[in-house]
Amino acid sequence: MAQTPNAVILAAGKSSKFFAPLYDKPKGLFEFRGEVLIERQIRQLKEAGIEDITVVVGYEKERFFYLEEWGVRLLVSMRYNDEMSLSSLDVARAYIGNTIICCADHWYDANPFEGVGGERSLRLVSPMEDARQEFVVDEEADGRLYHLQSGAPAGLAMVGYAFFTEDFAERFFALMDEDRSMIGFKALHWEQFWGRHCDELPLYGVEAPAGFREFDSLGDFARLDASVLNNVSQAAIANICAILDCPRDAIEDIDPLNKGLTNVSFSFVVGDNKYVYRHPGASSGNLVYRDAEVVAQQAAVDLGIDPSVIAIDVSGWKLSRFIEATGPFSYDDPAVLAKGIAQIRQFHESGVTCDYAMDFLEEGDRLQALAAAKKEDLARRYQALHDQTVRLWHHVALEAIPPVLCHNDTYAVNWIVADDELCLIDWEYAGMNDPFADLATLTVRDGLSREQNDQILALYLGREPSFEEKRRDYAINALCGWYWFNWALYKDTLGEDGFFMLPSWRAMMDYGPLALAMYEDPAALEAFQAVEEEGIQEDCL
């Protein structure tokens, strides 16, 4: 009689396709058809006679602690943030051998664990027409799997649970110990590691049962289960219902949006109308001054620059009408660019003010100090750049240009182009600043050329800029680069995308020395005019 297997459920990871601040819990604790995913698997395992169950937890681990009352063993992974499922198996290796390996976010309509076991190691597989997000394998005539691929357009995908025999597990972990120093080892899923050693680790395919589901996004839940709202922040749902005066069950077609860098958002439908709800991200408290955002956002609504917003709160949430983009904001489209710059000028001339002053130098220094907690010694490393930035800051300050309320986050993706309309969104970095700050942000964030920068400055002024105006514009580009460079450093320490780092660095390198020369070199005006004149002559040839 075959020995009854035990089970290990992997529940440590933080899915990159789900947004934790919005959904409030790990994916294994999501509800589907009235049941919590991991609870259902534990019930099914126990119904199949499997009582020895280990759960590996990591992200939001305390949310799983109640499962000890279900008679399961909990193991805590401290490596879930930068390692994959291979490390979770390593954490549980003492309990793996004659073992069913499960993932917490799987669902089986019928109990799949009855009779699992035997002398061969197994993995559920299923043919897929779109397998780009799966591990795909080939299968020999006897069912043995080999030739693992990722990103294949179609094929036999590895899905659901696996079963490791004792011999397989012993060899698996021996190979792990041999390969531990290998480059990229920490980033491997266990399937990828197996794929490297499939000749030594015989694994056989078993067709996944009908009714198996793996949830990769909230949309997967929404398409199958009307109770999907139970998985969304209940504070968000309460806000929506109060503002739109609708019952919970009127909220349909929830779809996560992953364009924001500071917050998380989702679109949804109520009746015939589509909306977007924004929920503040975990790092937003160190980046955003919400009181200023609310003032700027209301001004943008009143001016018709952003008519999408229905309601906004200083706590960070916002409800907007969904505007369907009909094309991108393009710097190569003269009409679109002119309209966008006109909106910036209109906002600056509105006379609206707020209590928060956005200082690129001060805020950049503050974010660098936060980043230094993990990156260390940033002040010494970038001392020369900081000295350059301070000198530029003093030159700009001496010009005493009256500050205006600025967006401070103007770049292409924050404009929605809808037919002939243009909507400037996302006012969360708003604050009083030099009016050229909104022009500098375009150049810095989108990595525009000097020629494009000068074109934007002329559009804003409605004429060719003077030497003094170009000098100040270039200085503010460098100051802006300092802020966004340190913003990116800080985001990098959170494991979030700091992809503005290189364009910001280039802005400091390109515009900083040039602006200093224009301020501090008595011959700079003559040289500048000569270069400008040469450019005009070349254009005429």
pLDDT at 497: 63
Categorize the per-residue pLDDT at 420 as very low, low, confident or very high, splitting at 50, 70 and 90: confident
pLDDT at 147: 95
* pLDDT digits 0-9 by tens, 350-401: 999 999 999 999 999 999 999 999 888 899 999 999 999 999 999 999 999 9
Q: Which of 35, 14, 34 is nearest to 25 (CA)?
A: 14
Q: Find all residues with CB under 8 Å of 102, minimum gap 6, and list them.
A: 7, 8, 9, 10, 41, 45, 161
Q: Which of 536, 396, 405, 530 is nearest to 474 (CA)?
A: 396
pLDDT at 265: 78
What number is the average pLDDT over the span 445-453? 95
* pLDDT digits 0-9 by tens, 215-242: 765 555 555 554 556 666 677 888 899 9
CA gap 368, 491 in Å, rounded = 10
Transcribe 184-252 into DSSP letters. TGGG--HHHHHHHTTTTS--EEEEPPTTEEE--SHHHHHHH-GGGGGGS-HHHHHHHHHHHT--GGGEE
Evaluate if residue 409 carries a pLDDT over 70. Answer: yes
Q: Which of 214, 206, 202, 196 is nearest to 123 (CA)?
A: 206
Q: 């992974």: which residue's tokens?
A: 77
CA gap 512, 477 in Å, rounded = 8
Beta bridge pairs of residue 127: 156
pLDDT at 131: 87
Across the chain, what does the average pLDDT equal? 88
Percent of all residues in the chain with a pLDDT value above 90, rounded to a whole number? 69
- Count the neighbouring beta carbons within 10 Å of the beta carbon of residue 355: 10
- Count the neighbouring beta carbons within 10 Å of the beta carbon of residue 356: 18
What number is the average pLDDT over the span 495-521? 88
Q: What's the half-sphere exposure (Cβ side, CA atoms, 13 Å) at 263?
A: 18
CA gap 279, 236 in Å, rounded = 7
Size of the chain, expressed as the number of residues it contains: 541
* pLDDT digits 0-9 by tens, 94-127: 999 999 999 998 999 999 999 999 999 999 999 9
Categorize the per-residue pLDDT at 260 as very low, low, confident or very high, splitting at 50, 70 and 90: very low
pLDDT at 30: 86
Evaluate if residue 539 carries a pLDDT over 50. Answer: no
Evaluate if residue 282 carries a pLDDT over 70. Answer: no
CA gap 482, 488 in Å, rounded = 10
Contact 260, 284 (CB under 8 A): no
Categorize the per-residue pLDDT at 527 as very low, low, confident or very high, splitting at 50, 70 and 90: low
Contact 92, 80 (CB under 8 A): no
* pLDDT digits 0-9 by tens, 314-344: 888 899 999 988 989 999 999 999 999 999 9
158 — phi, psi (to 5°)?
A: -80, 120
Would you say the pTM of this structure is higher than 0.95? no
pLDDT at 80: 77
* pLDDT digits 0-9 by tens, 63-103: 999 999 999 999 999 887 778 899 999 999 999 999 999 99
Higher-confidence residue of 18 and 170: namely: 170
Evaluate if residue 16 carries a pLDDT over 80. Answer: no
pLDDT at 298: 95
* pLDDT digits 0-9 by tens, 159-202: 999 999 999 999 999 999 999 999 889 889 999 999 999 999 99
Q: Which of 321, 266, 257, 262 is nearest to 293 (CA)?
A: 262
Contact 36, 43 (CB under 8 A): no
